[in-house]
Amino acid sequence: MRKNIVAGNWKMNKNVIDAQQLMFQLLEYKKNNATNCDVYIAPPSLYLMMAKDLYENNEIGVFAQDMSEHESGAYTGEISADMLKSIEADGAIIGHSERRQYHGETDSHCNRKVKLALDKDLTPIYCNGETLEQRKSGQHFEIVKNQTEVALFTLSAEEIKKVVIAYEPVWAIGTGETATPEQAQEIHAHIRSLIANKYGQEVADEISILYGGSVKPDNAKEIFSQPDIDGGLIGGAALKIDDFAKIIEGFNS
């Protein structure tokens, strides 16, 4: 059975004191509340080791927000899969739309990163999703199809089963404008059927597909109740413990 996951992408927010405080609050919350989903955080890379030290029993998954497509060497500013593995990080977000928009990342980069992460036994959270113009012109199914194929379809069935996919329509990220549960569900079902056509239904049914884009405490439950939505990748609302906790509780009946 595929996992339900709520993952917090902290982006470039919080100084070390505030980051540590939120990590502690989340640990306390996890200890005191039964959750019906796995909980991950992706803090700035500077704080990954702190998170790993704090979550010594792996209560909360710890993910980088990106990783290099290269193994090692002269790549100033980059973080390698081996480095992440050496601090026992659980994985990395790959291909977030902000990496695509501000750092020119393409699905070919994502393909190499996803493959490298898997080779190093890290879980990639691969992000895709269309822009507003692409949705307005009715291209969203085609765009997401291309993204999924280029980034993931060189993987073996065993490999793709270990990937988490996050569908994040660019127009919904940080804008307060969420895809309706129906709009999200139809793209999630589309992604799952693409995988089923290529790898078989059994493989497709094992892959967690998260929705991201203005998930908030008041819409999480409805979004998560859709059959092909297995959780969320949360930006702004992951920065406050009360909001993030309420989103996690979107999986409570």
User: Which residues are catalytically annotated?
Assistant: 96, 168
Among 52-60, 69-77, 141-149, 233-241, which window interacts with ligand PGA (CB under 6 A)?
233-241
> Closest Cα partner for 212 from 3, 5, 1?
5
214 near ligand PGA (CB under 6 A)? yes
Residue from 132, 174, 200, 242 in contact with ligand PGA (CB under 6 A): 174
234 near ligand PGA (CB under 6 A)? yes
User: Binding-site residue total for ligand PGA (CB under 6 A)?
Assistant: 13
Residue from 213, 224, 228, 244 in contact with ligand PGA (CB under 6 A): 213
Nearer to ligand PGA among residue 48 and residue 238 (C-beta): 238
The CA-based angle 48-101-170, given to 5 degrees, is 90
User: Which alpha helices (H) appear in 129-209, and where do they start and end?
Assistant: 132-136, 140-152, 157-160, 181-199, 201-205
Among 45-53, 107-115, 180-188, 211-219, which window interacts with ligand PGA (CB under 6 A)?
211-219
215 near ligand PGA (CB under 6 A)? yes
Strands 209-212 and 91-94, sheet pairing: unpaired
Side chain identity at 162, as an amino acid letter? Answer: K
Distance CA 169, CA 59 (A): 29
Q: How far is CA 174 from CA 87, 93, 193, in A?
A: 30, 17, 28
250 near ligand PGA (CB under 6 A)? no
Distance CA 82, CA 75 (A): 14
118 near ligand PGA (CB under 6 A)? no
Q: How far is CA 214 from CA 48, 172, 177, in A?
A: 24, 6, 6
What SS3 state is found at 61?
Answer: strand
Nearer to ligand PGA among residue 199 and residue 250 (C-beta): 250
Structure-token pair, residue 214:
């203005």
Among 22-30, 57-65, 198-206, 213-221, which window interacts with ligand PGA (CB under 6 A)?
213-221
Nearer to ligand PGA among residue 171 and residue 199 (C-beta): 171
CA atoms within 13 A on the CB side of 215: 33
Among 63-71, 113-121, 192-200, 207-215, which window interacts with ligand PGA (CB under 6 A)?
207-215
168 near ligand PGA (CB under 6 A)? yes
191 near ligand PGA (CB under 6 A)? no
Residue from 173, 191, 229, 248 in contact with ligand PGA (CB under 6 A): 173
The CA-based angle 127-138-5, given to 5 degrees, is 25
Nearer to ligand PGA among residue 192 and residue 235 (C-beta): 235
Side chain identity at 115, as an amino acid letter? Answer: K
Positions in the binding site for ligand PGA (CB under 6 A):
9, 168, 173-174, 212-215, 233-237
